[in-house]
Chain A
């Protein structure tokens, strides 16, 4: 009989322990790390080359004249007083920024060449479009007898706006994040515009006056090859493949009416007079 007794007590005890089983959920498994550190890029020698011409079909828009009377020094400066955002010489479009995009490229770090110069001359930026690498120095010089202010307005980089009086020392700056493209403006001479493309890799180029461009030492692989123009927007070309030590040619062509690019406020200041 006592055996049974003991059994019953055991049961009570056990059930009690069961009731007590209360778990505490604490779900903290470690999160995965953000991107691993980049490795130095070693050329394997089988790199290819991309080159081509950017054409412009359709009627060439007649450049608008600029009234520089606001600043005597600019008015005095040589060169046509027209807006040169669209520079077309016999059907070839200049100042087009062509660059590669691919995750494979971002895994490496590349050596940064020394400074790239943006000169202010005759109240214009030369070149109008230029490419930079992340961490590469942008040297802005002023060879005008008048004061300018250099005002890049990036989105992913820090914005600055510095005054540069005549024959002042060049302004040097770096952009530490890839961004295509950063507009640069001189607020004192509203017509002065430039665009700076910043990439983490050296595979970009800007078309010259014959509309030619070439990107060298491209490691074989699949890329998105994009051509960008400040007026006509972007033309991305997906799955653009470069085989080992191949030299590819790829032409682009922009038309007068371009893909939709966010239209800025129609600021039509008096300095632009419709040419007749």
Chain B
């Protein structure tokens, strides 16, 4: 194990944010869900006790009758926000004193550095290039994500769970988000820690040797099945993709209609809303990890090969 190098990577000023995220994302996820759980319990109770629900405004569990019924923004909210400000300021100070801008030598057009990595927040994208062809990974996927994020509010037909932490009332939304977000972060982490010279996969602590030689053949799915000529490659790929959509469409459907509450919500959906949701769920949330695994586990390069683009 090459701890020295691992240490060098983690302490690289460039990587501080992503390292911090390693700790902070789980922490805040836990924080939020914890609150959500509390609320959910309360909601459950209030539903059984309308009287209480009328008189009561604070969504905190366990509630005690002699507690104030209402709390004002000042001081109760602002003081927390103020504390947060102080903390953030302090952190920014420390950060800016201790870590200088990660400047490197002047760029040399005759010599691209190896590995040449994007800034940490783009490493996810860069990593995606491994799994899709540039057109898909660089243009289609990102824009789909953005559009998808924009679309979500409109596909949301859920009247509840607004303005407070809750899990019960927003399983799908929260689940989908966390799934997407975390897989994104994972991509970044892979790009940061596991991609060495030649964008070869190194496990953390494995020495990044510039002269590493590895044997690795990635084949297109059609080739595996002995389909080597166009247009059949494309056709075959298209079929596979269609099947993929069908399967995961079904799975998604099962998930979004898991229990009664979800079913209710499903009822409230218009067809358009539902389809939009399905589309993005499959193309982004499912396809990305699926392709990742296909590549890493089965060394499959592309599923669908056409003269214009590959998937």
Closest residue of A by beta carbon distance from B95:
A16
Cα–Cα distance between A30 and B91 once the two chains are bound (Å): 42
Indicate if the CB atoms of B94 and A9 lie closer than 8 Å. Answer: no
Indicate if the CB atoms of B98 and A16 lie closer than 8 Å. Answer: yes
Q: A8-B27, A12-B20 are in contact. Are A17 and B98 (CB under 8 A)?
A: yes
- Give A1-54 interface residues, CB cut-off 8 Å to B: 2, 6, 8-9, 12-13, 16-17, 19-20
Does B174 lie at the interface of the complex (its beta carbon under 8 Å from any beta carbon of A)? Answer: no
Indicate if the CB atoms of B87 and A9 lie closer than 8 Å. Answer: yes
Neighbouring B residues of A20 by C-beta, 8 Å: 97-99
Q: State which of B11, B23, B87 has its C-beta within 8 Å of the C-beta of A19.
A: B11
Closest residue of A by beta carbon distance from B97:
A20
Counting from the closest, the 5 A-B pairs by CB-CB distance are: A20-B98, A16-B94, A13-B94, A16-B98, A19-B11
Point out residues on A near B: beta carbons under 8 Å: 2, 6, 8-9, 12-13, 16-17, 19-20
Neighbouring B residues of A8 by C-beta, 8 Å: 23, 27
Indicate if the CB atoms of A19 and B94 lie closer than 8 Å. Answer: no
- A1 CB to closest chain B CB, in angstroms? 9
Sampled A-B contacts (19; CB under 8 Å): A2-B83, A6-B87, A8-B23, A8-B27, A12-B20, A13-B90, A13-B91, A16-B16, A16-B91, A16-B94, A16-B95, A16-B98, A16-B99, A19-B11, A19-B98, A19-B99, A20-B97, A20-B98, A20-B99
Indicate if the CB atoms of B98 and A9 lie closer than 8 Å. Answer: no
Neighbouring A residues of B90 by C-beta, 8 Å: 9, 13
- B30 CB to closest chain A CB, in angstroms? 11
Cα–Cα distance between A19 and B98 once the two chains are bound (Å): 7
Neighbouring B residues of A2 by C-beta, 8 Å: 83
Cα–Cα distance between A20 and B99 once the two chains are bound (Å): 6
Cα–Cα distance between A245 and B90 once the two chains are bound (Å): 83
Cα–Cα distance between A9 and B83 once the two chains are bound (Å): 12
Neighbouring B residues of A17 by C-beta, 8 Å: 94, 98
Indicate if the CB atoms of B91 and A9 lie closer than 8 Å. Answer: yes
Closest residue of A by beta carbon distance from B13:
A19
Neighbouring A residues of B91 by C-beta, 8 Å: 9, 12-13, 16
Closest residue of B by beta carbon distance from A9:
B87
- Give B205-237 interface residues, CB cut-off 8 Å to A: none
Cα–Cα distance between A44 and B99 once the two chains are bound (Å): 70
- B12 CB to closest chain A CB, in angstroms? 10
- Give B1-56 interface residues, CB cut-off 8 Å to A: 11, 16, 20, 23, 27
Task: Identify 17 new A-B residue pairs, CB closer than 8 A, beyond the known A13-B90, A16-B99.
Answer: A6-B87, A8-B27, A9-B87, A9-B91, A12-B91, A13-B91, A13-B94, A16-B91, A16-B94, A16-B95, A16-B98, A17-B98, A19-B11, A19-B16, A19-B98, A20-B97, A20-B98
Cα–Cα distance between A8 and B20 once the two chains are bound (Å): 11
- B222 CB to closest chain A CB, in angstroms? 50
| B93-131 to A contact mask, C-beta < 8 Å, 1/0 | 011011100000000000000000000000000000000
Cα–Cα distance between A210 and B171 once the two chains are bound (Å): 124
Closest residue of A by beta carbon distance from B88:
A9
Neighbouring A residues of B94 by C-beta, 8 Å: 13, 16-17
- B282 CB to closest chain A CB, in angstroms? 38
Closest residue of B by beta carbon distance from A17:
B98
Which residue of A6, A8, A12, A17 has the most chain B CB atoms within 10 A of its CB atom? A12
Cα–Cα distance between A19 and B12 once the two chains are bound (Å): 9
Neighbouring A residues of B97 by C-beta, 8 Å: 20
Neighbouring B residues of A9 by C-beta, 8 Å: 87, 90-91
Neighbouring A residues of B98 by C-beta, 8 Å: 16-17, 19-20
